[in-house]
Amino acid sequence: MKNTNPMRRFITSKTTWKVVAGIIVGIIIASLWSQDIQTIYGVARDESISADGYAGAVPSPEMVDAKMMATSPTMDYAAAATSNAVNNIVHNRKIIRTGSLSVEVAETETAIDQVKKLVETKEGFIDSLNVYEWNYGQNKADITLRVPAADFDQTVTELKSFGKVLREMENTQDITDQYTDTEARITNLKAREEQLRKFFGKAVKVDETLAVYRELETVRFEIENMERTKLSYDKEVSYSTLQLEIIPQVVVEQIENEKWSAKNVWRGAINQVKATLRDFAEAGLGIVAYGVIWGPIVIIILVIWGIWAWRRRK
């Protein structure tokens, strides 16, 4: 039977399938040709940065790094500076020393004055001081003090002479590797910043200028973060931290003194009894008051319920 449907004749036609196959082959050839053009253009774009400066394309971070490694004398200086920093720090370890000390003293206030004078002579400072009542009118003190690392041992020795040592602990943390890495990153970032500034001065187009400027801002932000980290390391290394606990000796006081007496204890007990009786009285009066309001309602409800129950039984 002859097919009269035009759409079906079009789909089953050999000519149609030949045309479709030709279109697919054409798309594949065009795709391969486009990739070759992009490869050639990319090579030409990479080569547009000459050894004398900036031309053509906006430099990416990877291109800038390659340029700096190949041609920049600043990078040679950075590498040399990093090597020197590593050699110096190998012989000068970066150690953070911290400790804690508990001392029992005869009088807390006197010991606090002695600690302040000692820290001042060592050219240190007290970071925090907390004094509070500890045992029946006696005060206890928690002090955080910072002293130069070179005077840490001598300071601890003198503090131990103030009284009886109850507890002593010392910790050390070697941050040489972190410190060296931070210094090296700062040096390399500054070298990169200098090279980017050269590119910025030679940029011609507005979009090129903005691209280099944004990269400069990113590098400057990283440099500032690294410098803050290095400064924090320097402070921790140069000044050691000591947590000092001053505990007063326990003394036997008189039975009665200005803060305690049997008369005051008796008065306090009587006041507590009065307060308890007052609470019971208030509760009773409250029940009576609420009873006057809710009593009739409860009675009515009970009467209604009784009538309902009686009628059900009947």
Domain boundaries defined on the chain: 56-252
The span from the CA of 86 to the CA of 2, in Å, is: 91
Q: Whole-number mean pLDDT of the chain?
A: 75
Evaluate if pTM is beyond 0.75. Answer: no
Give residues with Cβ within 8 angstroms of 248, minimum separation 6: 104, 105, 106, 107, 108, 134, 135, 138, 139, 140
What is the predicted pLDDT for the residue at 269?
A: 85
Give residues with Cβ within 8 angstroms of 10, minimum separation 6: 16
Q: Which candidate, 127, 132, 120, places its Cα nearest to that of 158?
A: 120
What is the bridge-based pairing of β-strands 138-148 and 95-105? unpaired
What is the predicted pLDDT for the residue at 54?
A: 41
What is the predicted pLDDT for the residue at 68?
A: 46
What is the predicted pLDDT for the residue at 22?
A: 63
Residues of the chain with pLDDT under 70: 1-91, 251-261, 314
Q: What is the 8-class DSSP label of residue 249? A: P
Dump pLDDT digits (tens) for 78-124: 444 445 544 444 457 899 999 999 999 988 899 999 999 999 999 99
What is the predicted pLDDT for the residue at 313?
A: 78
Percent of the chain with pLDDT over 90: 34
| Beta strand ranges found along 48-114 (DSSP E) | 95-105
Percent of the chain with pLDDT over 70: 67
What is the predicted pLDDT for the residue at 15?
A: 65
Buried b (16+ CB within 10 A) or exposed e, 21-33: eeeeeeeeeeeee
What is the predicted pLDDT for the residue at 254?
A: 52
Buried b (16+ CB within 10 A) or exposed e, 219-248: beeebeebeebbeebeebbebbbbbbebbb
What is the predicted pLDDT for the residue at 227?
A: 92
What is the predicted pLDDT for the residue at 58?
A: 43
Q: Whose structure tokens read 């400064």?
A: 231
